């Protein structure tokens, strides 16, 4: 018995992509085309969607039509879809009505349900509310286990310490209690991850697109084959988009233009080496720079000066100033006193400007010390010539 299928999750259709806000619909369309083409070329029997296929229920009609056309296209090739709802796209009858009209679309209900494809049992459930807290795997009816088992659902494995909400929580112990060797097609964690627990394959394909500027790493979906010996062989198929993370040491830079040149060189080199339809960059500046360069970087880093080159990049400043707050405070005077007071402040004590909050919302907002350090570096740079 040979069964081929695709496992994907967390597409978040309808969410504006950080790097391509004006091209999101086109990129989502290209992604679905790539999944469909991969399915046809590999003669897959079905595709698993393990939750959060849609970002919410208020997506534009064009997004819903995109997915409906995708379902119809696969139906023409006799390819089924098994769909588990997650916390973002939890089950609402009216939302899913157009898809359920298609005979190749199978959606899991609120409680465990089993579909059968050839000799394979496909077990799954859907979220019927956004914040599902029930430990669903612990109540799986083990009498439903077959020789070949496939699980499809949205969950947070607690041992991972993930930043994602602890919805439909599960643990490694619960997977190890499933006696039959199975493939668990999971969703919720946006990073590609996989483990073997008691001969069971636990697999997160991750989001196939970098929806946020910190979602680096491999992006794509799994092509899986169930072999005659009940083994699951999987191949990771890269997606249409790549988010590349680069670290650039700017210690020798004398001004912002030299920093910009280093960024340009890094981006050009990366895009020569990586061949993909959509490439975005998450660039982190490191090293130790003069207070004046630090001031320039903090003033211009959010201005998008790299966008003029027609490239998409998120730039994070991780560099340090040559003059630290501790060195400043060694001297005596008004500025040093202000430095000491500022150093002692906690996050809740300081009403941050909205622009500052927006700048740090996705990166360093939890590390208030870095905000204080940067602010002191700029202040010192502004005042040092008058001392």
pLDDT tens profile 86-118: 999 999 999 999 999 999 999 999 999 999 998
Q: Is the same domain home to 261 and 354?
A: yes
Note whether 204 and 329 are same-domain residues.
no
Q: Is the pLDDT of residue 28 over 80?
A: yes
Residues 221, 190 share a domain? yes
| Domain end point (choices 239, 267, 284) | 239
Percent of the chain with pLDDT strictly greater than 90: 49
356, pLDDT greater than 60: no
Instruction: For residues 246 and 235, state if they share a domain.
Output: no
- What region, left, alpha or beta, does residue 206 occupy, with left being phi > 0 and alpha being psi -120 to 50 degrees? left
pLDDT for 139 beyond 50: yes
CA 79 – CA 97 distance, rounded (Å): 20
pLDDT at 332 over 60: no
Q: Is the same domain home to 255 and 227?
A: no
Give the model's pLDDT for residue 343.
Answer: 65
Residues 281 and 314 sit within 8 Å (Cβ to Cβ) = yes
How much is the pLDDT for 310? 47
Provide the pLDDT confidence category of residue 7 given band limits of 50, 70 and 90: very high
- pLDDT at position 307 over 50: no
* Domain identity same for 83 and 213: yes
Q: Which two tokens stand for residue 195?
A: 């483990």
Q: Alpha-carbon distance 338 to 328, whole Å?
A: 10
Same domain, 220 and 250: no
The predicted pLDDT at position 192 comes to 93
Closest CA to 184 of 232, 132, 245: 232
Give, for 35, the enclosing helix (H) or strand (E): helix 24-41
Q: How many CB atoms lie within 10 A of CB 198?
A: 14
Q: What is the DSSP string of 287-298?
A: SEE-HHHHHHHH
Number of domains comprising the chain:
2
pLDDT: which is higher, 375 or 227: 227
pTM flag (> 0.85): no
pLDDT higher for 325 or 247?
A: 247
Rounded CA-CA distance 121/147 in Å is 8
Nearest to 3 by CA among 184, 104, 149: 149
Q: Which residue has better confidence, 270 or 22? A: 270
* Average pLDDT taken over every residue of the chain: 84
Same domain, 293 and 195: no
In angstroms, the CA 57 to CA 33 distance is 22
Task: Write down which residue in 239, 269, 293 finishes a domain.
Answer: 239
- Residue bearing the bigger pLDDT, 35 or 384: 35
Instruction: Using the 3D structure, point to which of 179, 210, 239 is the last residue of a domain.
Output: 239
292 and 247 in a single domain? The answer is: yes
Report residue 340 as tokens: 């000491």
Residue 276 to residues 14, 240, 273: CA-CA distances in angstroms?
22, 6, 10
Span 253-281, average pLDDT: 86
Q: Average pLDDT of 198-217?
A: 88
Are residue 41 and residue 158 in the same domain, yes or no?
Answer: yes
Question: pLDDT band for position 313 (50/70/90)?
Answer: confident
DSSP state of 302: T
Q: How far is CA 7 from CA 38, 149, 156, 183, in A?
A: 12, 14, 17, 10
Same domain, 59 and 181: yes
pLDDT (mean) for 223-247: 89
pLDDT confidence of 328, banded at 50, 70, 90?
low
Q: Per mean pLDDT, which of 63-72, 203-212, 237-246, 378-387 is the most reliable?
A: 63-72
List the domain range (segments joined by +) for residue 125: 3-239
Q: How far apart are CA 182 and CA 146, in angstroms?
A: 10
Dihedral of alpha carbons 356, 357, 360, 362, sign: negative
20 or 114, which is more confident: 114
Specify whether 200 is located in the same domain as 306: no
- β-partners of residue 313 are 281
Q: Per-residue pLDDT for 250 more than 70?
A: yes
**Does the structure show a pLDDT above 60 at 366?**
no
Q: What is the pLDDT of residue 165?
A: 84
CATH number of the domain where residue 102 is located: 3.60.21.10
């Amino acid at each position: 018995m040979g069964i081929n299928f695709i496992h994907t999750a967390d597409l978040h259709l309808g969410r504006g992509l950080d790097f391509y806000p004006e091209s999101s619909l086109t990129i989502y369309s290209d992604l679905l085309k790539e999944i469909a083409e991969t399915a046809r070329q590999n003669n897959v029997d079905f595709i698993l969607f393990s939750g959060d296929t849609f970002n919410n229920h208020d997506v534009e009609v064009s997004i819903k039509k995109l997915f409906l056309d995708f379902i119809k296209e696969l139906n023409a090739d006799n390819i089924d879809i098994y769909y588990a709802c997650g916390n973002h796209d939890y089950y609402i009858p009216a939302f899913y009505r157009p898809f359920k009209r298609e005979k190749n679309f199978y959606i899991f209900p609120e409680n465990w349900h089993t579909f059968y494809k050839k000799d394979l049992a496909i077990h799954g459930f859907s979220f019927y509310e956004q914040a599902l807290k029930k430990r669903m795997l612990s109540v799986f009816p083990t009498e439903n286990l077959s020789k070949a088992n496939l699980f499809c659902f949205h969950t947070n494995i607690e041992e991972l310490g993930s930043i994602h909400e602890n919805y439909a929580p599960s643990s490694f112990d619960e997977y190890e209690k499933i006696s039959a060797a199975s493939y668990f097609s999971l969703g919720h964690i946006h990073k590609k991850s996989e483990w073997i627990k008691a001969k069971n394959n636990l697999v997160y394909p991750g989001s196939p697109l970098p929806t946020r500027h910190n979602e680096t790493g491999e992006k794509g979906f799994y092509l899986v084959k169930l072999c005659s010996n009940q083994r699951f062989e999987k191949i990771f198929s890269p997606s249409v988009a790549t988010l590349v993370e680069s670290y650039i040491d700017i210690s020798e830079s004398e001004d912002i233009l030299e920093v910009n040149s280093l960024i340009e060189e890094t981006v050009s080199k990366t895009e020569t080496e990586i061949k993909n339809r959509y490439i975005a960059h998450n660039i982190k500046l490191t090293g130790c720079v003069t207070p004046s360069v630090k001031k320039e970087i903090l003033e211009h880093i959010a201005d998008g000066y790299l966008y003029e080159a027609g490239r998409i990049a998120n730039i994070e400043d991780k560099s340090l100033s040559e003059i630290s707050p501790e060195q400043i405070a060694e001297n005596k005077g008004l500025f040093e006193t202000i430095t000491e007071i500022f150093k002692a402040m906690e996050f809740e004590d300081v009403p941050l400007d909205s622009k500052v909050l927006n700048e740090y919302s996705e990166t360093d907002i939890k590390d208030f010390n870095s905000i204080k350090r940067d602010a002191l570096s700029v202040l010192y740079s502004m005042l040092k010539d008058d001392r």
